[in-house]
Chain A
Amino acid sequence: MANPATLQAEAVFEILVRENADMLTTYLRSVVWRPGAIDDLFQETMLVAWKRLPEYDQNRPFGPWLRGIAARLVMAHSRKAKRDLLVCDERVLEYLDRQLQHISQRSGDTWDDKLVALRECIAALPDDQQQTVRLRYLEDLQAERVASQLNVSMEAIKKRLQRARAQLLDCIRGKQMLPGLNP
């Protein structure tokens, strides 16, 4: 049976897990496409963080430390199962780390609160892109189902999504949800 101190430490760590779960999931999804691999890496990242908690510098934010662990696990995973990954190398991971840190520092109690700008940008998309994004992402339909529902080709759906993502990127940068463009 675990001692009370361990139980208390677990309870506190669970708060950290819950507070950082969405951020970490977003980070992993930015570089890994296979859902099973994302779940595995999520669990492993938190496990490693738990085991290395004594090494954690409490004067520094927890999120970047967690992403640092995740980045090492992702790179290790890429050596075994590269096909699980999207475009990913150390510089991409560092770049994404900075983007997520920027989002983390936005106002809002929850990760969802910090994504308000993204919701606003979706609402501002042209109708066809907005409809496609809603079906694909908010409703979690696969592209072929979206194509069928909207009666357009898969290629058209793919291009709409690509254009929508590009437009959303510009929009959320305009709202300072992500760092602005360099001069």
Chain B
Amino acid sequence: MSVGDPGFPIPVPDQDTRPFWDGCRRGELLIQRCGACGKWLWQPRPICSSCQTPDPTWTQVSGDGAIASWTVLRPPTLPAFAAMVPFVVLLVTLDEGVRLLGYLVDDAGRVLTTDGGAEGVRTGRRVRLRFHDQAGTILPCWTLAD
């Protein structure tokens, strides 16, 4: 991992999660899928929780999905985020069925300063994957698809 601004929380990968973060740095969203039963798994784990087969396969996905829920971060936040508020964090259900968090970003991956109103953020809207560089940490994020 690159060393991020110490003001932002920094992911600390371990053996079970490092492929995900390495994928982000290549611009790829990798999700584990069980090679035996086909179950998509999130968060990362060493064993399929559905059939207990070890070593689910890291599989690149499109990142297409829909908003399952969302919130708006407002003051008070951690100091590193103060210049960004208000901003929207989405809970996205990928088409594969797993749910991930991510900022609402523009087409270029920049975090939008918004309460979501102008963009019409609502549950069920389709989103597309983008990546956002947060002081050296490459984070999957989402932009509205339509």
- B is a partner of A: no
**What residues of chain A have their CB less than 8 Å away from a CB belonging to chain B?**
none
